[in-house]
Structures are given as C-alpha cells and as structure tokens.
Structure 1
C-alpha cells in the first residue's frame, strides 16, 4: 500500500473528547503545504488507497474534516466524493431548496444566509436516508456560517437522563411531521422546496405515488400547494453498526425552524398520536445539542464527511459571501 499522506491534527477549543477520542477527527497533509503542494489527483488517489482506514475513522468518530488538500472547485469536490466510492442517494423528500452544481454535487441550502438552520439528521423524516454526507467549503464565510455538529447517541443519553418520561413516550409513539409545500421552490425559506422538485415531477399522480413510498400522505390545496403528513415515524432508532440508540429525528428542526409564509413550526411536529409536544422540553433538547456541539469555522477547501446515522448538523447565520456544497451517499 502506498505511504499515507494523511496526518491527524488538532484545533484547540474546536473539538470534543469522548472516551479519549476526538470529535471530529481532523486530517491534513503530512508535509507543510507550502513546501509540497498536494494536488487533487494526489488527494483522490490517497483516498482510494486508504479507504478502509478512512472508513474506520468515520465509523469510530462520526465526523472527519479534511483540511489543506487543495480542493478548490466543485469539480474537485465531485472527484473527492467519487474517490470514496459510496453510491449516490437522490435527494427525494427533503425540505431544503437546492440546485445541482456538477455531477453528484449540489448547493447545501439556498435559503438566505442570515437564517439559522437547526440541528437535524439529513432527511430523518423519510424512510430512506443517506448514510454519509459530504460538505465542501467553496467560499468561506467572513464571519459566522459554521456548520455545528453533535453526536446523536450523546443527545439521546442526555435526553433520557433529563426527560425519561418524554423519551419513553417518543419511543412508544414516534413523531408526525406536517409541512405545506408550494408548487415551486421558495429560496427565501430554509424549508422552501416546492412539491415539484421534492418529488421530481410535475404530475400530481406521480407525486402521490412517490410520496406514498416515503410514507407521506398528500392533501392538495386550492392554490396549487400541498400539505404533506409524514408518520408516525420512529424518533429514536438503533445505530446497528454501533449497537446503540440514537436521537434520530427532526423534532427540534421542525419545531424551531420550519417557519415560512406557509408553515407554523409549532404545528409542524407532534407525537405520533397527534398530541402536541411540550415547548420547554424541545428547547431543553436544543440546549443539550448546543452544549455538546462542535463548530469549526470553515476554511476554503475544507471537506467534511459525516456519518448521518451518528451525527446531527446545523447551520449558523452569517453575512455573505458563503458557499457550501454538499453530496449525499447511501
């Protein structure tokens, strides 16, 4: 096997320690980037050569940040994603307004950058979720705009300790998510994806068929929009690869962030039996997520790989410019 070009680095105050392990793991080139420039081909070939080791890192840590590897364009980022060899997952059923950039790469969320996006597992409200997420910083924000991440099993453990009856009820009933979609995308909203792009069709009958496969019921509205009702969906799942329970839901994201001209976030999520959730517990959960989260400021060229079963992510507001690209994998 070729010699590895990777070395693990530390960023003080921007990593957590759990059982002696760092979260996230940060990998940089072994040699100083000013004395030897690793181009994109060297990086992608190193990924292919050391894929089992890299996969073991992501399995153990939940998140790996690659920094300093001269990933400069969307095409470079697409090459990095391809080098890992994970199968692509189409973005069907998600809420974020996004646009394809190149290959398997799209914009992460086209909503205004001054809006916060709360913690969530990607597409947690649909049956088929991505196993891996890639993010790439094409244009770093001047201030703010971080992507905080938090380990899902840590959130579950702390919630079960603080709110045992609530967690028990979640495990019994799950959650129902309700969201109203317009016909077309609304880039002013963080959940502004219209039903045509959500279900990749302009045909209402096809949309209903695809929604049914996602466990979603559609209620058509006079203005051409549609109310989507998803669930009941389990809110606590088991990460089989780690044999531990995880906080796998969009409860906080829906209750605190699913707000626009069509949606009232308080009505966006309920228990699986239709009864309302308690606001103080939801905000208590948000506090736990904030306390346990890590938010490394983006630098141009950063590539962040997340295990979507292990890690929730969010977005802090910022002033433009900021351009973060993404890719989803099975």
Structure 2
C-alpha cells in the first residue's frame, strides 16, 4: 500500500493568527487534480497520519478535509470511525436531531432559513464533546455556512473592552433556564422537547436523568417544564494550550414561550447587560471564518477551542454530524 500524505492547501476565507497559523487548516491529498480522492483512501490516510492530525488540530483548532469523494452517511461514518475517537451519545442536548447511521446524526433540524448563534456543543452539560465532525452531503446553493471562531480570541477581545463584566462572568458563571414542551418543536434551534431530551416519557425518570446532568426541572400546569442549568462556568481554562476561552453561548435564544432576557442570567441571578451581549455578537461575527460548503467536505473541530454557528440558507442543505468524547 502506497504511503499517502496530506497536503495543506490555502483557500481565500482562511485567517492567519499568531505565527501565521492558518485557521482553519485545509487538507487534501491531490490538490493539483480536480478528481476527488476516494473515501477509502481518506480513511486509510487518517489512520496512518493520526499523530500528525492530532497535533495539527491542537495547533489550529479546526481542520477542513476537501476534495474527497464522500457521498453518503455510511462513507462519513467510516471517516468518523477512522479517527478512533470515542463516541458521545447526545443526551441532554437541546437541538432536535436524528440518528442516521452508526455514529452519524442530522445536525440541528430547525428550518434552514433560521440563523443558529455561536456556541460550543453542549457547553452547559457536565460532559460535552471534545471533537465534532461535520460532513456536507448536500451543499446549499448559497448561504448555509457553518462559521467558526477561536474561543480564546473572543475572550481576549471581551476582556480588553469589558474587564469588569468578564471578571463577574468568571466569578459567577451563568444560569440557563428554558421552557421545554413535551414534544419536539422543530421550528426552534433549541426546540427539543423534554421526552426526547431525556429519552423517556416518565417525569420521574426525566428528573433523575436531568439531575445527573446538573439540571433542575420545574413542571408547569400546561405540560411544559422549566429546565434550569447552572451556575455553569462561562470562562474556562484550556490547560493543553495554556489560555482562557469563552465557553458560552451567552446570547438569549429566541424560542417559543421563552423570554430571551431571562433565559440566561449571571450565576447570582442578575440580568446580563444587553449592550455588552450585543457587542459580543459583533466580535464573534468580526473574528469568525465562514467557508461555503462543498459536497464531500468534512470539517473536524476541537470543541474546546472553537465556537460554531449556522447561517441561514434556502433548502436543500444537508450537513451531518458526529460528536466524540
């Protein structure tokens, strides 16, 4: 078997941060040809170049694999398996999503014309994925990108402009509260109902499973439940890179029956200043990289280093995902 090597390629959307490290890294096998490489060749090369890929991901935070003939959820599942990361079941997450095959899920099933704000996957859960893999099965004609941004850059910009606010965040963390219906509401990015969130129809079992995730449930008379999480740390320390990161989706999500102002508060219960939240959104947009999807793209993200979001698009758009421990 020939020894294949990845080649780092450049695309116009990349950004260069310190030491001119491109963000994200873009890898292909034959950048000079227009013929995509087979899925099996990608799988083989991932397995043989695992130490190189781990160190590249640690350095850059995100790696895009482009120019591969990956067509189906099954192909993508083979790619996911090739990395050898442990699977993380999606329990307690807020997005409506469905298992497709093996370790592959749909991404958030909200209609594609809705924007999804920047977040670290399952940042409010005691156990969140360390890596995320996305695969573009059907590319949108326009829009629908998955913008990514380096979390420590956001932290540095916020600390520079709002030191007292950031200090209060570090001290108190955040409390997230949200009303859940019984069943899924696919019109909302966080519309997963309590039954599918906790994989049960029994309220007592839901409470038990919620408690393990650090979540309190308060049942309402109309069949909905208030889910309260926190205080959860909003600033974390990335030990392996020796830097602080902005580990929160601080912006109140618009969602049926939820008041965005009270959805997220400081850990001491005081409200978040709207103008500072608005500025944070601006920083996220200014610092992010949004690469238009091409069919067959696979994006590997370090969930501890990078926040991601979703831009609106018209259908069709089908991006699949896998979460790893």
Query: Normalization by structure 2: what TM-score?
Result: 0.97
**1:78-117 residue pairs with structure 2 within 5 A?**
78-117=77-116
1:126, CA displacement in angstroms?
A: 1.2
**Structure 1 residue ranges without an equivalent (≥5):** none
**What's the CA shift string for 1:119-144, capped at 9, x where partnerless?**
00001111110000000100000110
Instruction: Give the alignment of 1:246-325 within 5 angstroms.
Output: 246-252=245-251, 255=252, 258-325=253-320
CA offsets 1:276-319 (integer angstroms, 9 cap, x no match): 00000001011111111000000000000000000000000111
* Equivalent pair of 1:136/1:304 in contact (CA under 8 Å): yes
**CA shift for structure 1 position 222:** 1.8
Between the aligned partners of 2:236 and 2:161, the Cα distance in structure 1 is 19
Between 1:220-229 and 1:270-279, the stretch displaced more is 220-229
How far apart, CA to CA, are the structure 2 residues paired with 1:328 and 1:179? 23
Q: Is 1:171 aligned to 2:170, yes or no?
A: yes
Q: Is this contact kept in 2: 1:8–1:25, CA < 8 A?
A: yes
- After superposing the two structures, state which structure 1 stretch, 113-122 or 195-204, moved more: 195-204
Partner SS for 1:78: helix
1:114-153 map, 5 Å: 114-153=113-152
Match for residue 30 of structure 1? Answer: 30
C-alpha distance in 2 between matches for 1:34 and 1:279: 48
CA distance in 1, matches of 2:130, 2:157: 24
Q: Distance in 2 between matches of 1:176 and 1:91?
A: 21
Q: How far apart are the structure 2 equivalents of 1:241 and 1:196? A: 37
Task: Tell me, in whole angstroms, the C-alpha distance in 2 between the residues paired with 1:66 and 1:322.
Answer: 19
Determine whether 1:154 maps to 2:153. Answer: yes
Per-residue deviation at 1:210? 1.1
Q: Which string of whole-angstrom CA distances, capped at 9 and with x for unpartnered residues, describes residues 222-275 of structure 1?
A: 2222110000111100111111110001212xx1xx222222221110000000
Specify the SS of the correspondent of 2:57: helix
On the 8 A contact 2:105/2:320 being kept in 1, the answer is yes
Q: Contact between 1:33 and 1:68, CA under 8 Å: does it hold in 2?
A: no
CA distance in structure 1 between the partners assigned to 2:265 and 2:119 by the alignment: 16
SS at match of 1:223: coil
1:243 aligns with 2:238: no
| 1:148-199 C-alpha deviation (Å, 9 max, x unpaired) | 0000000001100000000000011100000111111111111110111111
Count, aligned residues: 324
Q: 2:184 — aligned with what?
A: 185
* SS of residue in 2 equivalent to 1:65: strand
Question: Could you list the per-position Cα deviations for residues 81-113 of structure 1 after superposition, in whole angstroms to 9, with x for gaps in the alignment?
Answer: 000010000111111110111111111110011
Contact preservation (8 Å) 1:100, 1:106: yes
Unaligned runs of 5+ in 2: none
My pick for the range that moved more, 76-85 or 218-227, is 218-227
Could you say what secondary structure the match of 1:246 adopts? strand
Residue of structure 2 equivalent to 1:214:
213
- List 4+ stretches of structure 1 deviating above 6 A: none
Distance 1:231 1:247 in 2: 16
Q: Quick check: 1:4 aligned with 2:4?
A: yes
SS of the residue corresponding to residue 177 of structure 2 reads strand
Contact 2:9 2:31 in 1 (8 A): no
SS of the residue 2:68 aligns to: coil
When the two chains are superposed, the root-mean-square deviation of aligned CA atoms in Å is 1.2
